[in-house]
Amino acid sequence: MDKDEIHLRRLPAAAPWGPHADSEFHGVDFLPGDLNEAPEETGMRVNKKYSCLPAEEKGIHIINIRAIEDIGYDQHESTLLNSLSKNPDADCKYGLYFRDGKRKVDYILVYHYKKSSAGKTLTRRVHHNDSSARSTKQDQPLPGKGVQLEMRESEPHVDYHEDDKRFRREEYEGNLVEAGLELERDEDTKIHGVGFVKIHAPWNVLCREAEFLKLKMPTKKMYQINQTHGLLKKINSVIQKITEPIQPKVAEHKPQTVKRLSYPFSREKQHLFDLSDRDSFFDSKTRSTIVYEILKRTTCTKAKYSMGITSLLANGVYSAAYPLHDGDYEGENVEPNDRKLLCEEWASYGVFYKYQPIDLVRKYFGEKIGLYFAWLGVYTQMLIPASIVGIIVFLYGCATVDENIPSMEMCDQRNNITMCPLCDRTCSYWKMSSACATARASHLFDNPATVFFSVFMALWAATFMEHWKRKQMRLNYRWDLTGFEEEEDHPRAEYEAKVLEKSLRKEHKQKETDKEKLTWKDRFPAYLTNFVGIIFMVGLTFAIVFGVIIYRISTAAALAISSTPSGRSSVRVTVTATAVIINLVVIIILDEVYGCIARWLTQIEVPKTDKNFEERLIFKAFLLKFVNAYTPIFYVAFFKGRFVGRPGDYVYIFHSFRMEECAPGGCLMELCIQLSIIMLGKQLIQNNLFEIGIPKMKKFIRYMKLKRRRSLDHEEHMKKKQRYEVDYNLEPFAGLTPEYMEMIIQFGFVTLFVASFPLAPLFALLNNIIEIRLDAKKFVTELRRPVAVRAKDIGIWYNILRGIGKLAVIINAFVISFTSDFIPRLVYLYMYSENGTMHGFVNHTLSSFNVSDFQAGTAPNDPMDLGYEVQICRYKDYREPPWSENKYDISKDFWAVLAARLAFVIVFQNLVMFMSDFVDWIIPDIPKDISQQIHKEKVLMVEVFMREEQGKLQMLETWKDNDKKKGENCNNHSPRLPRSRSGSLSSCHSYPLDV
C-alpha cells in the first residue's frame, strides 16, 4: 500500500473541493483550479502523488508522510523484491518514461557530482525512491535528498564549490516544481559521477504554456483543400505517377486532400480542439519546446545574482540540457519511431535519389531545421538545370576548339613569333607555339557561350530566390505558421549579468536592474575591438595572399634556372598548382580560426537576445570567411598581369621580384584552375574531414573516457543504457550557422565567377547530393536532439543570398570584359579585321620590343638559346612599336578596347539586373492557391466562432424560456398555498439550477 494513499482514503466521499475551516485537511483548498473544473482528473492527480504541487500546497499530507517514515515504515525492500520479477527499465522504455511507466520524459538536465565510497547503495535507494516522484520544498526539491544529507554528514571534507552547485540545483529544481513541472532524479547510471534529472510537463502545464506561446493547434473542424481541375489535374496525376518511385515512404509526405483548421490554443476554447488522445495532442517536439521555455524563464535568485538555465549551464551547475530522441534507430526488436523512420527514409546514402520527407523532419526537429533542409533541397533541385546548361556550354567549347582561329594561330609553327623573356637574366626568349596547349584549353572556358551562361546564371539566381519564397509560403501554410510573428526573446544570461554589474556600480541605493540597459557607450570598447579586429583579419588575409604571390614569383624564377628543358616548360603549371594548394590549406585553416574569432567578437558585444547574437555572429563570420575564400580568386581575376609594366620598364617588388604576367591565352584559364581546386578541395576536405572524421573522433574519445571511468561491476556493465545516457554521449547541437555558411560560400562559387568555370554548378550539385544525406545522418545519429525552434523563414541568410546574387552580376560583367578576351575579339572583328574574320587577331594583340632597349642587367644571359639572334621580341599589350615617334607609349587600340570593356560592363549589368528584377516582379511571392486557402481558413474560422456565439445565445434563450415555464407552472399549480408569492417563485426557480 502506498503511503500517500493512506491519508487520501480518509477524505469523505461527499467532501467538496473547497476550504475546510475545521477539517485537518485544511491544505486542500490550495489545490489548482483544474480540480474544480475537471473532477474526473482527480484520480489521475492522486496517482501522481501531487508531484506537480509545491510542498506548501500539500499541507498536512507531507507531515504525516514524514511521520510514517520516522516510525520506520519503508517500502524500498518490497520495491526491490518486485523488481526481481520484472525489469523496471523495460516498464519505463529504458528512460523514455518515468519509473511509473506513464509519464513521458520531456527534457533532461545533467549534472556532475562527487560520489563517495558509500554512495553506491545509497544512490540506488535514491533511485527507487524517485519512483514516487513527489514534490518537496526548495530545501528538498527531489526525493532522495535526505540520503545525500546523511552522506554529507559522514564525509570528513566538504567541497565548497560542490555544495554551492548543489544548493543552486536544489533551488532551481524547486522553482521548476513550483512552475508545475514534475521531476525525477537518477544517479544510479553507468556513467560514473553523472546524475540526471528527468522532467515531465503534465497536461495542465502544457495547456497553460501553449496558450502563452500562442501555439497553433489543429481543431476538430476539417475542410477540403482546393484541387486542380481539367488539364492541370491530369498533368499533376502524371507527374505523381512518374515521381512515385522517388517519393519517401512516410505518411507525412503523401498528398493531402483535407486539412484541419488550426487556431492558437486556448484553455477556454478546449472544446474546439480534438482532445480525444491527449497523449499525442502535443507531440514530443512541442512538449520539449514548452519545457525549454519554462527552463529559460525560471531562475534561482538566492545566489549572488539571478541565474537562468543558460547561466547554470555556463557555470557548470548543470553540464547539459537536452530533449530525448524518440528511441533507437538501429538494432533488433526496435519499436517503430520517427527517428528510425528518418534514418531509413532520409539519413541514408541509399535513398539519395529520393525527395526529403520535410514534414517529418519538421515534426521531429522543428520548423527552423526543417526550413534549412527544405532550402537545401530547393537549392539542390535548382542546380540541376544550371548543371545541364553548364555541361552544354563546356561541350560547346570542346566542339569548337579546333575551329577557334586565335588558338590555331598560336599553335601554328609557321608564324614563328618570338616572345620576350618571362623573367630577368635567367629566362630566355621563347616561341609562342610552346603555349599551344594553354591556348586551346582556354577556349573551353573563354568562348561566346560563357557570356550567355553568365546571363543565364544571373537569371537563375533570381528565379531560385523567387522559387524559394514561394516554397517557403507553402511550408508556412502547411505548418500553420501563417500569421506567426517572433516575439521578443528572453535576454541572454551574459546580458543580464552585464546589466546587473552596471547597476551595482552605481552609487545610488536603488538597484532596479529592470530599468537598466546597455547603451552604445557601454558597448563602445567592444565595437572598437570589433572594428580593429575585423580590419586586422582582413589585412592578415591580404598579407597571406601577398606572401603566396611572392612565392609564385620566386619559385618561377628558381625553376627557370633549371637546365632541363622539361623543367623550364612546366614552370607555369608547377607554380600555379603548388600556389593554389597553399591557398587552399590556408583558407581551410583560417576558416576555423575566423569562426572562433567571430564568435569571440560577438560575445564581447553582449547582444541582448539569442536572435541578435546569431545575426551579428553570422554577419562577422560571413564577412571574414568571404574575404578569406575569395581574395586569391579576386587577385587572379582582376589584378594579375595588370601592373606588370613592359620590357625595359618592368614593375618590381622589393626591387628584385618582377610582377607575374598572365599566360599568352589570358588569365581566365588560371582563374578556372584556381576556382576549381579551391571549390572542390574545400568541399571534399570540409565534408570528409571536418563533418565526418572529427565528430567520429570526438565520439570515440568520449567513449574511451567513459569506458575508463566506468565501474567494474559486471551487473552494472551488462545493464542496458537508459535513453538519456545514450543521448548524453552524443555530440551537442551547435546551431545551423556552420551548415548555412558552407552552402552560402558554395553559392558564391557557383554564381560569382561562373563565367570562368561553367562546371561549378555540376560539382556543387554532386556535393549537395552527398551533403543532404551527410547532414541528415549527423542530425539523426550523431547529435543530441536539438530544441525545436519556430521560424517562418531562413532569416538573415536570405538577404545574404540576395546580396551575392546582385554582386554576381557585377563580378561576371568585369570577368567577361577584363579577364577574358571576349571584348578584344569583338573590337578586332568589327574595327580592325580586313576580311571580317579573326585571322590576325593574335598579331594585333602583341606589341614589339627592340632587345637593345633592355635595362642594364635584365637582358637574357643566353640570347642564342633559340639558335638565332633575336632583335625584336613580342609581348602582350597595346603599345606603340619601337620605330614609332612615341615608342612604347599606350596606343589608340588600348583606349578603344578599354572603352568597349567599360561599355559592356554598364550594358551587361543594367540589362541583367533589369531582367532579374522583371523575374522577381512577374513571379508572385505567394502562390495563388495558397493565398486562396489562407483566405478560406479565415472565413471558416469566423464561421466557427459565429456558430459558437449563436449556439450560446440559443442555449441562453432556451434556459430563459424553461425558467419562465417553470415559474408559470408553479403559479398555476399552487394557488392555495399560504406562502408568499416570492417564496414560491424562489423555490421554483431553484429547481432547474439543482438539476
> What average pLDDT score do residues 786-797 get?
90
Tell me if residue 17 falls in helix, strand or coil. coil
What residue spans of 132-283 are helical by DSSP H? 145-154, 160-178, 203-213, 231-243, 278-281
- The rounded percent of the chain whose pLDDT value lies above 90 is 21
Per DSSP, 439 falls in state H
* 730/64: higher pLDDT: 730
- Residues 836-868 have pLDDT tens digits of 888 888 888 889 998 888 888 788 877 787 788
d(CA 858, CA 649): 10
Q: For residues 690 and 697, what is the distance between their CA atoms, to the nearest angstrom?
A: 10
CA distance 400 to 752: 25
Render pLDDT for 815-842 as a digit per residue (tens, 0 to 9): 888 888 889 989 998 888 888 888 888 8
Q: What is the DSSP letter of 499?
A: H
* Tens digit of each residue's pLDDT (9 = 90 or more) over 116-138: 444 443 333 333 333 333 333 33
Going by C-alpha positions, the residue among 547, 542, 553, 572 that lies closest to residue 659 is 553
**pLDDT score at 306:** 63
Model confidence band, residue 413 (pLDDT cutoffs 50, 70, 90)? confident
Q: What pLDDT is recorded for position 475? A: 92
C-alpha cell at 832: 580592325
Whether 485 shows a pLDDT value over 70: the answer reads: yes
Kindly tell me if the per-residue pLDDT of 962 is higher than 90.
no
Q: What is the predicted pLDDT for the residue at 140?
A: 43
Q: How many CB atoms lie within 10 A of CB 218?
A: 16
Mean of the pLDDT values across residues 417-436?
82
* Angle, helices 284-297/203-213, rounded to nearest 10 degrees: 80
What is the band of 143 on the pLDDT scale with cuts at 50, 70, 90? very low
What does the pLDDT average to over 440-444? 84
The pLDDT of residue 565 is: 57
Lookup: cell for 423: 623573367
Return the pLDDT at 510: 53
pLDDT at 88: 56
Q: Is residue 166 a contact partner of residue 82, using CB atoms and an 8 Å limit?
A: no
pTM of the predicted structure, to 2 decimals:
0.80
Specify the 3-state DSSP secondary structure of 179: coil
With beta carbons less than 8 A apart as the criterion, state whether 331 and 250 touch: no
pLDDT tens digits for 36-95? 333 333 333 333 333 333 333 333 333 333 333 333 333 333 333 333 345 556 656 677
Helices (H), 405-561: 405-411, 436-445, 448-478, 493-505, 520-560
Residue 133's nearest CA partner among 80, 186, 169 is: 186
The secondary element (H helix, E strand) that includes residue 223 is strand 216-224
564 compared with 77, residue with greater pLDDT: 564
At residue 200, the pLDDT reads 93
φ/ψ of 292, rounded to 5, equals -65, -40
What is the average pLDDT across 277-282? 85
DSSP calls for 388-433: HHHHHHHHHHHHTGGG-HHHHHHH-GGG-PEEPPSSSSS---EEGG
Task: Work out the pLDDT band at 780, boundaries 50, 70, 90.
Answer: very high
- Quickly tell me which residue has 628584385 as its cell: 656
The answer to whether residues 433 and 412 touch, using CB atoms and an 8 Å cutoff, is yes
User: Which range, of 487-491, 716-720, 918-922, averages the lowest pLDDT?
Assistant: 716-720
Residue 520, pLDDT > 70, answer yes
Q: What's the mean pLDDT when you consider all of the chain?
A: 77
Whether the per-residue pLDDT at 2 is higher than 80: the answer is: no
Average pLDDT over residues 369-378: 95
Instruction: Check if the beta carbon of residue 600 is closer than 8 Å to that of residue 581.
Output: no
Q: What is the pLDDT of residue 980?
A: 40
Q: In a 10 Å sphere around its CB, with 0-12 CB exposed, 13-18 middle and 19+ buried, how is residue 733 labelled?
A: middle
pLDDT of residue 991: 35
- Highest mean pLDDT pick, 78-82, 442-446, 629-633: 629-633
Among 415-424, 514-523, 863-872, which is the least confidently predicted range?
A: 514-523
pLDDT of the residue at 159: 64
Query: Which of 223 and 715 is assigned the larger pLDDT?
Result: 223
Mean pLDDT of 504-531: 72
Asked whether the predicted pLDDT for residue 5 surpasses 70, the reply is no
pLDDT, tens only, 743-773: 999 999 999 888 888 999 999 999 999 889 9
